[in-house]
DNA sequence: CCCTGATTCGC
DNA sequence: GCGAATCAGG
């Protein structure tokens, strides 16, 4: 997957809107959050208004040997839920928020209220008390309540509200 | 354990 | 230029 003008534009847009690198990576598809961050820096648009944490000097450290030839692991670690939740790559309208339920919550993640903990998404699906009710259960939380995927949906109205307030 | 962005450097 | 690996932090 290469950085076409289109993808770069989308990257710029989402980054300026405050989405995290991993969220943008999921939105773009075919790239990791590292790739997104790397691109952001190369484009020179890193500092996003607020200087998150004081940019620590970050000292160098000797790199261990890349473990021979096959060095490019497909990064099995982390974020399977987000990857699964991300639908087909060619999204006709990236602006549209995806369906919060259909085909986006892996069966393996779904859980009851008893399975919820500080790391699980609390996005509810269905009617509480009914047989098929469950929680998203994804462990890709970005806030205190929802996974990265559902947070985008849950907090969208707030973002819009703030944007209008700022524009006023 | 989950996540964040920042940085380095082999490719 | 790209991005995995790593770091430092929340």
Q: Are A100 and A150 spatial neighbours (Cβ–Cβ below 8 Å)?
A: yes
What pTM does this model have? Answer: 0.45
pLDDT tens-digit map of A10-38:
999 889 888 889 888 987 888 999 999 99
Percent of residues, chain A, with pLDDT higher than 90: 14
Q: Is the CB of A128 under 7 A from strand C?
A: no
Summarize pLDDT for A106-144 with one digit per residue, the tens.
676 778 777 777 778 888 887 766 677 788 888 777 666
Q: How far: A138 CA to C5 C1' (Å)?
A: 25
More confident residue, A3 or A69: A3
Q: How many residues does chain A have?
A: 168
Q: Mean pLDDT score of chain A, rounded to an integer?
A: 67
Nearest nucleotide (C1') to the CA of residue A33? C3
**Closest CA relative to residue A105, chosen from A150, A152, A141:** A150
B1 nearest neighbour residue (CA to C1')? A119
Q: What is the mean pLDDT of residues A35-62?
A: 67
Residue A29: alpha-carbon gap to chain centroid: 11
* R_g (Cα) of chain A, nearest Å: 18
**What does residue A147 show for φ and ψ, rounded to 5 degrees?**
-70, 170
Give the whole-angstrom CA distance, residue A154 versus residue A17: 16
Beta carbon of A1 within 7 Å of strand C? yes
CA distance A79 to A46: 23
Q: And the tokens for A45?
A: 């648009």
Residue A5 has pLDDT above 90, yes or no: yes
Distance in angstroms: CA A3, C1' C2: 10
Q: Find and give the residue nearest to C3, measured CA to C1'.
A: A35
| Number of C-beta neighbours around residue A81 at 10 A | 23
A58 DSSP assignment: -
Of A residues 23-42, those with CB within 7 angstroms of nucleic strand C are: 31-32, 34-35, 37-39, 42
pLDDT tens digits for range A135-154: 888 877 766 677 777 777 76
What is the dihedral sign for C-alpha A36, A37, A40, A42? negative
Q: What is the mean pLDDT of residues A70-87?
A: 40
Q: What is the pLDDT of residue A76?
A: 42
Spanning CA of A134 to C1' of C5, the rounded length in angstroms is 37
């Amino acid at each position: 997957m290469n950085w076409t003008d289109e993808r770069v534009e989308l990257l710029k847009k989402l980054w300026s809107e405050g989405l995290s690198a991993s969220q943008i990576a999921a939105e773009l598809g075919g790239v990791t959050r590292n790739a997104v961050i790397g691109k952001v820096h190369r484009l020179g648009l890193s500092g996003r208004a607020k200087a998150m944490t004081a940019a620590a000097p970050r000292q160098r450290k000797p790199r261990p040997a890349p473990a021979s030839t096959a060095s490019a692991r497909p990064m099995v670690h982390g974020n399977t839920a987000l990857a699964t939740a991300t639908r087909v790559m060619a999204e006709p309208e990236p602006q549209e928020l995806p369906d919060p339920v259909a085909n986006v919550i892996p069966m393996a993640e779904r859980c009851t209220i008893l399975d919820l903990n500080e790391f699980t998404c609390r996005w509810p699906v269905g009617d509480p008390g009914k047989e098929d009710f469950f929680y998203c259960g994804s462990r890709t939380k970005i806030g205190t309540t929802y996974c990265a995927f559902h947070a985008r949906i849950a907090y969208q109205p707030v973002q819009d509200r703030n944007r209008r307030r700022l524009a006023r």
